[in-house]
Amino acid sequence: LTIDGTEIPAGVYISYQMDALSEAQSVLAEEQPDLDMTAEGFDFKKQTIEGVAAEEWVKNKTVELCRTYVASNRMFDEYGLSLTAEQKAELSAYVKSTWDEENMYAQYIYGYDTLGEYYETLGVGEKSFEAIQTVFTKQEALFNHIYGEGGELEVPAAELEAKVLSDYALIYSFQVDPAYGKAQDYVDKLNSGTAFPEVKQSYDQAVAVAEAEEAKKEAEEAGKEYDGTLPEDVVVAAVDEAALKSVVNVKDTTPSESYVADVFAMANGENKLITVSEESTAVDGTTSTTVSYYVVQKLDIAADADVMANYKDSVLYDMKSSELEETLKAKGAAYAVTENAAAIKLYTIDKLEK
């Protein structure tokens, strides 16, 4: 395959063919939710995706990805960009680890010691893999150059900050097992002025004491000598403040949509007990409800410089990544393509499906 004078290495083509097949399977699953692609006798090539024969769909998507590969390299050069020594070192280390380090996923799923070994069986060599990873890094650099600070299409910092504030919430939280006390009692401690890490430590202490009491009781009932820490001697460690912090996205659904809604309805500094009810149905058809209790304190995300910096990058990507993707796709779509039909026939998806 040659795109506007640039010959696509076989390994690069096959790698993008793998991506295209994966995307095709995802689209097919969306179109036919009840289709079992793992069923015996299932033939992917007999399917149609978006009205196109599956194999043709994969081929078209592969060519599209190859066009974008060329477009990315060229746009990177057109902007006069170059990879830093750090980026090159990270790329080299990643490629080397993929080829040289044992990988449990590769061993379990594919039966090969390393992912590199698996890729090579498909026809993707180390150089082709590195070429594709390099393009990913170039696309990231392009994105930052165009949309980042000082870029020609820079998104104003105020707009990014506003997006972070509307889409993300910073909280302290921990879950309370009612066997170890009333969850509301811990909220009351917060409202009385006790710091959140200290409140969490008091909960941990209650749990540890109760567990020690239970262990002591079991030993006594069994007629054995209890050799553990006495309940009155239990002392738990101080709680790591950072471990209590978490960032919630407005689109999150864990532990529930109602939980997320409650978090976003809270004011900064507010403490609240949030309950989450979940119904489950047993094999015999009977239903039961499980209630979980969360002690939550809403923090001022704007006051945390590190979190704001991290999530400004995230919202920038959310806002503009598809725009760059479409720009590169359009640039690639204008290129002339010359196919080596005989060679492409060799790159069937049969081997990739195994």
Instruction: State residue 348's pLDDT score.
Output: 81
The average pLDDT across 117-128 equals 94
| CA angle, residues 311, 313, 314, in degrees to nearest 5 | 60
Strand order in the sheet with 337-338: 6-7, 2-3, 337-338
The percentage of residues in the chain with a pLDDT greater than 70, rounded to a whole number, is 99
Instruction: State residue 354's pLDDT score.
Output: 54
Q: E strands, the chain, where?
A: 2-3, 6-7, 48-49, 52-53, 168-176, 245-249, 271-281, 287-299, 337-338
How, if at all, do strands 245-249 and 271-281 pair?
A: unpaired
pLDDT-derived band at 333, boundaries 50, 70, 90: very high
pLDDT-derived band at 280, boundaries 50, 70, 90: confident
Instruction: State residue 17's pLDDT score.
Output: 95
Instruction: State residue 14's pLDDT score.
Output: 94
The average pLDDT across 4-27 equals 95
Q: What is the C-alpha separation between 224 and 345, in angstroms, rounded?
A: 75
Instruction: State residue 284's pLDDT score.
Output: 83
Give yes or no for a cis peptide into 255 (omega within 30° of 0). Answer: yes
pLDDT-derived band at 124, boundaries 50, 70, 90: very high
Instruction: State residue 203's pLDDT score.
Output: 96
Q: What is the C-alpha separation between 112 and 67, in angstroms, rounded?
A: 31
pLDDT-derived band at 330, boundaries 50, 70, 90: very high
Taking only Cα atoms into account, the Rg of the chain, rounded to an integer number of angstroms, comes to: 28
Tokens of 346: 């060799």
Q: What is the C-alpha separation between 151 and 155, in angstroms, rounded?
A: 8
User: How does pLDDT run across 216-270, given as a tens digit for each residue?
Assistant: 999 999 999 888 988 899 999 999 999 999 999 999 999 999 999 999 999 999 9
Q: Is 163 a residue whose pLDDT tops 60?
A: yes
pLDDT-derived band at 181, boundaries 50, 70, 90: confident
Q: What is the C-alpha separation between 266 and 253, in angstroms, rounded?
A: 17
Q: Mean pLDDT in the chain?
A: 94
Instruction: State residue 252's pLDDT score.
Output: 96
Length of the chain: 354
- The amino acid at 64: E
- The amino acid at 20: A
The average pLDDT across 22-50 equals 93
3-state secondary structure of 297: strand
pLDDT-derived band at 27, boundaries 50, 70, 90: very high
Tokens of 201: 């430590």
Instruction: Please report, in angstroms and rounded to a whole number, the separation of the first and last CA atoms in the chain.
Output: 24
User: How does pLDDT run across 48-104, given as a tens digit for each residue?
Assistant: 999 999 999 999 999 999 999 999 999 999 999 999 999 999 999 999 999 999 999
pLDDT-derived band at 131, boundaries 50, 70, 90: very high
Q: Is 351 a residue whose pLDDT tops 80?
A: no
Q: What is the C-alpha separation between 297 and 293, in angstroms, rounded?
A: 13
- The amino acid at 114: T
Q: Is 119 a residue whose pLDDT tops 90?
A: yes
